Amino acid sequence: MFFIFFLILLFSATLSQIGCEGTNCDNCDSIIEFEIIPDSRGGEDCFYGDVLKEDLVEDETLQNVSCIHGNLYLSSSELTKVQFPNLKIVKGDVRIKRNLILEEISIPRLQQVEGDLSIAHNPLIDDLHFPNLQSIEDFLSIENNPRITEIDFEQLQHIGAGVYFLCNRGMATCEIEKFTSRFKRDSSCFAACYHHNQRDTCSFDKSGCPEDLNRQCEYN
C-alpha cells in the first residue's frame, strides 16, 4: 500500500512541474499549442486539434498543412487575410466569423469539410472563392456579409444538411435560389433559407428558416 501511495504522490508532483494539476487547469493552452505530424494514410502534413487563434494563422508551418483533424475557427479584430494554400480537408467545422477588417479568404485547394462551413459577420469581404470544394457534410451558412457580390463553388457537389444565406445585401435571391436548388435532392431533411439579401423578384421557402428569421441584419 505504501508503495502505491508513493507512486500517486510522484505522479501528482510531475503534473505540478508542467504547470497543470489534473484536468481542471486554467492555463493548459500554453503547454502544447499545436503539433503537426504526417498523416499515415497519405504522408501529408496534418494538424491534430482545433485551430482557434489568429496568431496561429501567421505561423508559416501551419499555413502549409494539407488537413486539419479538428475545427478551423477564426474570429479576430486584427486579421486581414486568411490563407491556407495547401489545405484540402477539414474534419470538423470551418467558421470564419466576426473579422472586422478581414478582406480576403484564400483556401484554394480545399476539397472537403466534414462539418459546417460558415462565413458570417465579415463586413469587408467582397467575394468567396472555393474553386475545388466538393463536399460539405453539414450546413453551408453565409450570413451578414454586406459586401459579398460573388461566390465561387464551381466544383461543389454535396451539401448534407442545408443552406443559409441571410443578410447579404450584395447578393441577389434569384442567384442564391439557383445555386441551392441542385442540393435539395440530396436529403429529405434539407433546409434552404435565403432572406434579407438583395431585393429581386424571386420568392423563397421559409420552411427551412430559423424561427427568428425577421431579426434585424447586423449591417444595414
Task: Write the pLDDT tens digit of every residue in 35-50.
Answer: 445 444 444 689 898 8
Closest CA to 94 of 126, 52, 66: 52
| Residue 34 scores a pLDDT above 60 | no
> What pLDDT, in 10s, does the model give residues 133-185?
999 999 999 999 999 988 999 999 999 988 888 888 888 877 788 888 777 65
> What pLDDT, in 10s, does the model give residues 52-80?
765 455 566 677 899 999 999 999 888 88
- Residue 166: its pLDDT value, please? 86
- Residue 212: its pLDDT value, please? 61
Phi, psi of 62 (to 5 degrees): -65, -35
Higher pLDDT, 110 or 167: 110
Least confident among 107-111, 114-118, 136-140, 194-198: 194-198
Q: Are 70 and 93 in contact (CB under 8 A)?
A: no
Query: All domains of the chain, ordered by start, with CATH?
Result: 50-208 (3.80.20.20)
Q: What's the predicted TM-score (pTM) here?
A: 0.75
Per the structure block, which three cell numbers stand in for 80?
486581414
- Residue 121: its pLDDT value, please? 94
Place of cell 497519405: 42
Give me the amino acid identity at 49.
Answer: G
- Cβ-based neighbours of 161, under 8 Å, separated by 6 or more: 116, 137, 138, 139, 187, 189, 190, 191
Percent of the chain with pLDDT over 70: 64
Higher pLDDT, 159 or 4: 159
- Residue 185: its pLDDT value, please? 57
DSSP 62: H
| Residue 191 scores a pLDDT above 60 | yes
The overall average pLDDT reported for the chain is 75
Least confident among 3-7, 70-74, 95-99: 3-7
- Cβ-based neighbours of 10, under 8 Å, separated by 6 or more: none
Closest CA to 46 of 35, 60, 33, 58: 35
**pLDDT interval class at 105 (50, 70, 90):** very high
**pLDDT interval class at 22 (50, 70, 90):** very low
